[in-house]
Amino acid sequence: MSFKLRSLVFAVFMLVFGSALQAHELRPAVMDIGISDDRPGQLAIRLTLSGEAVLAGLDLSGITDTDASDRSAAYDALRALSSADLASRMRAGFADLAADITLRIGGEEAALALIDVSVIEEADLRLARDTVLEIGVRQPAGGGEISVDWPGARGALLIRQMGVGSDPAYADYLPDGGTSNSFTLATGAPPPVGEVITTYVHSGIIHIIPAGLDHILFVIGLLAYSLSG
């Protein structure tokens, strides 16, 4: 393949799949739930999502790109904030987010207490960044089955277990919100390494495929282009 032809192929590929690099793409939120190691009697929740989408008030039901929302301008303005400023606004707005989420333990609704907020900065500012919320939940003495009510307006949600005693094979995916399956957490020995690897591969696929197929195609295209030379 000549240099000019290869350049043309690459330019067309970037035009078609270049949107994969934009900050407008939305990924499913991920909720990891486990027994807290350093807070006896509490559950630990790590919720990873788009802080900008939450603060902009985007209705994520049925969309995978923020440009499809009438609140896209507000989202873009929040994208321009520093990670520290975005984290500060998420702390201030956590109550509104928590009001939309219902976590039940043993059939009883549990209160969500914000512990920390961090924003994962991307070196490439064209890429969407994740906001991670560390949440504590008081666990009843008797424990019980856990379930999550997630609003469809917050987009898709992937639920996993984490920590000692968790089930590494557990994953529940709510593409349009709703109520999760119920599950329990138990203290015990760490799971076999093989099970952990299998779970993370499975969860990774679920996390990527719903909104990240263009990323995969982009990488495959780059690989094909490099091999053509």
The predicted pLDDT at position 36 comes to 81
Q: Are 140 and 42 in contact (CB under 8 A)?
A: no
Res 11 pLDDT > 50 = no
Res 214 pLDDT > 60 = no
pLDDT above 90: percentage of residues in the chain: 50
CB-based contacts of 25: which residues, under 8 Å, 6+ apart?
19, 64, 65, 66, 128, 211, 212, 214
pLDDT in tens, 159-173: 999 987 788 889 999
CA 114 to chain centroid, in Å, comes to: 17
Which of 4 and 177 is assigned the larger pLDDT? 177
Residue 191 pLDDT class (50, 70, 90 cuts): very low
Res 209 pLDDT > 70 = no
The predicted pLDDT at position 139 comes to 83
pLDDT in tens, 34-48: 988 777 778 999 999
Res 33 pLDDT > 70 = yes
pLDDT in tens, 54-64: 999 999 998 87
**Residue 156 amino acid letter:** A
The predicted pLDDT at position 38 comes to 79
Which of 25 and 65 is assigned the larger pLDDT? 65
pLDDT in tens, 113-144: 999 999 998 777 677 899 999 999 998 776 78
The predicted pLDDT at position 227 comes to 58
pLDDT in tens, 68-118: 888 999 999 999 999 999 999 999 999 999 999 999 999 999 999 999 999
The predicted pLDDT at position 210 comes to 54
